[in-house]
């Protein structure tokens, strides 16, 4: 039995799937639909979504198209990069980090328009359904959620095309399927499906849309400098820039030099493994630079504890728990560590590689007079003997009290 929904806010791209969802909501739920289209720097025009929504009967006042590029980078990407977050060792969470912002805006628009439901186009197999809906319910526990892919029987592209034809919905590319399922924003572009579903198949070079192949990148390395304040980049080559412009500029550098391509098999939250390819050019550069500036400004134990927390933090974002109290708790701890993460990092970009070649900070904890191999007057090397014996004390006691145990350990090696 269908719920009684009066008005629903749909995350609307203007593409085939969400256009069908828009019509399906009108027909199945007999509800008024509000469309929300987010510009997250995906590199496509978003205004055409307005005309498509109008053709499908959406009132002009119920069409929301928002430029969220600055908010996306400043309030979502930058906080995540303060944590050096990577999921399963490689994925820089480009899709994951966009979902909480979209969910937040949908809830805000729902409150503004008096809507009692929100809807998305994520399938029942992927992570995005979880990310969207945890966001919705975390921000408004009373909102109704409509997930068409879990309700309808339009479970193939053929059925979607038939539905579109039957209901007069315009189809881009004359109904031809794109080679891959893709998602893009300022941080990354992802590719799934088609030949990628066989993890043994190498992706075609033509698949990559942003970056040049590393072997075709310039034969001359390029040097750039990134300036940091409180853990966030604010200037490139000593020119101050807004957060979104920082990432756009780093993307351009990365694409030019073939930086940021990965091909991984990841573990989805819903339980299955999925193969995906990603281009994250600017993010790859930012991660390298951020770790470099932290290397001279963070205390050893502070840095080590932060690295221990990172996998948990990354997992929370991947699984959709951005708005959870535990993520906010971790974020507070991470942000505290960034108070002195200020300075500059010099990088060398060359054929798919990002190399740190210099780092400096007025708050650097690096002491050349202590670490030098030359003669110094600040460190007494004889002090190391007591330090070592104190750390070895438990071994010494064990060796005297339990000699048989040490013999057994020696015999196992033999």
Catalytic residues: 17, 99, 128, 181
250 neighbors 92 (Cβ within 8 angstroms): no
Q: Strands 144-146 and 117-119: what pairing?
A: parallel
Q: Strands 117-119 and 63-67: what pairing?
A: unpaired
Based on DSSP, count helices (H) and strands (E) in the chain, helices before strands.
Answer: 14, 14
Phi first, then psi: what are they for 118, rounded to 5°? -130, 155
- Inter-axis angle of helices 243-256 and 281-297, to 10 degrees? 110
Show the tokens assigned to 119: 């809807």
Return d(Cα 82, Cα 367) in angstroms, integer: 24
224 neighbors 294 (Cβ within 8 angstroms): no
Show the tokens assigned to 322: 């951005």
Return d(Cα 273, Cα 377) in angstroms, integer: 57
75 neighbors 247 (Cβ within 8 angstroms): no
236 neighbors 226 (Cβ within 8 angstroms): yes
């Amino acid at each position: 039995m269908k719920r009684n929904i009066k008005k629903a806010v749909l995350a609307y791209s203007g593409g085939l799937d969400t256009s069908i969802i828009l019509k399906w909501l009108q027909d199945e739920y007999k509800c008024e639909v509000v469309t929300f289209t987010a510009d997250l720097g995906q590199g496509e025009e978003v205004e055409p979504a307005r005309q498509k929504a109008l053709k499908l009967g959406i009132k002009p006042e119920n069409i929301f198209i928002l430029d969220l590029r600055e908010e996306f980078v400043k309030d979502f990407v930058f906080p995540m990069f303060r944590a050096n977050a990577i999921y399963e060792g490689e994925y820089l969470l480009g899709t994951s980090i966009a979902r909480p912002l979209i969910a937040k805006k949908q809830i805000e628009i729902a409150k503004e328009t008096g809507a009692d439901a929100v809807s998305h186009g994520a399938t029942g197999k992927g992570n995005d359904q979880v990310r969207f809906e945890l966001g919705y319910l975390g921000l408004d526990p009373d909102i109704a959620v409509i997930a068409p892919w879990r309700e309808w029987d339009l479970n193939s592209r053929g059925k979607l095309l038939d539905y579109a034809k039957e209901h007069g919905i315009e189809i881009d590319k004359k109904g031809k399927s794109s080679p891959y399922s893709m998602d893009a924003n300022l941080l990354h572009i992802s590719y799934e499906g088609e030949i990628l579903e066989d993890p043994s198949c190498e992706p075609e070079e033509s698949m990559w849309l942003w970056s040049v192949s590393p072997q075709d990148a310039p034969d001359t390395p390029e040097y750039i400098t990134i300036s940091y304040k409180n853990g966030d980049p604010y200037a490139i080559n000593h020119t101050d820039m807004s957060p979104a412009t920082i990432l756009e500029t780093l993307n351009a550098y990365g694409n030019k030099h073939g930086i940021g391509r990965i091909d991984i098999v990841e573990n989805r939250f819903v339980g299955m493994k999925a193969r995906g390819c990603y281009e994250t050019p600017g993010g790859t550069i930012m991660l390298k630079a951020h770790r470099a500036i932290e290397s001279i400004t963070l205390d050893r134990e502070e840095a080590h504890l932060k690295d221990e927390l990172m996998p948990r933090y990354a997992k929370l974002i991947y699984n959709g728990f951005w708005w959870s109290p535990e993520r906010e708790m971790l974020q507070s701890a991470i942000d505290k560590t960034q108070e002195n993460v200020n300075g500059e990092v010099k990088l060398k970009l060359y054929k798919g590689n990002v190399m740190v070649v210099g780092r400096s900070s007025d708050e650097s904890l690096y002491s050349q007079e202590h670490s030098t191999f030359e003669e110094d007057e600040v460190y007494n090397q004889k002090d190391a003997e007591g330090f070592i014996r104190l750390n070895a004390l438990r071994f010494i006691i064990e060796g005297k009290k339990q000699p048989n145990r040490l013999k057994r350990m020696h015999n196992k090696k033999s």
